[in-house]
Amino acid sequence: MTELDEAWELALAEANNRARAAGRGDIADYLSLRSRNDLLRRTATDWLIHVTVMIAGKANRAGAGIQIEQEDNHRFSRGTATMVGKRVTLRSGVRALIIESGWPRTPRDGIVRGGGLACANIKHFGRPRANVELLLMRSSQGSPQWFVHDKNGGKTILSEEEIKAHISPLIQH
């Protein structure tokens, strides 16, 4: 967790305490929901980045030679909204794969469309048709789940196998 994330959590907790002390249960409930959703978002983003780095690391131990770069506090657009989160870039020769994940942090950043908690992109340098957009949503059990949105409006659950499939062109070159 970054210093900014820690400061944000502290500010939310203080605001929640002030709202409860002032008898504003509605605001306190909203802030509690926001805090729980932020934990889901952070956990899902960390999973996505961790799995990507783990798969690339395993390929490297087998001789792939993939360069791995990570960035916190990365900003990217989804429609008219700005997402803030993490990015990992995998490079091998002239090929590159970028996975970015985040959510709006301030009201001016906008909202996540489609009822999601967070957004992510998997981008293939030079292969835009292979790019996919992800949306983090609650599963029926309440846990976070990444869904791949296809061009026809359908959605499927993102699996580790699908992440491997996105990384495989870097290994095969």
Res 152: pLDDT: 77
Task: Say what the pTM is.
Answer: 0.83
How far CA 3 is from CA of 72, 104, 106, in Å, comes to: 11, 17, 17
Res 82: pLDDT: 97
Which stretches of the chain score pLDDT less than 50?
A: none
Contact status, residue 64 vs residue 52, Cβ threshold 8 Å: no
Q: Where are the domains of the chain?
A: 47-172
Q: Is 125 exposed, middle or buried (0-12, 13-18, 19+ CB in 10 A)?
A: middle
Ramachandran category for residue 26: left, alpha or beta (phi over 0 → left; psi -120 to 50 → alpha): alpha
Res 8: pLDDT: 63
Contact status, residue 117 vs residue 139, Cβ threshold 8 Å: no
User: Distance between CA atoms of 35 and 168, rounded to whole angstroms?
Assistant: 36
Nearest to 27 by CA among 14, 38, 37, 40: 14
Reading the block at residue 142, the tokens are 């309440």
Res 38: pLDDT: 87
Res 1: pLDDT: 55
Nearest to 122 by CA among 146, 100, 142: 100
User: Distance between CA atoms of 14 and 76, rounded to whole angstroms?
Assistant: 29
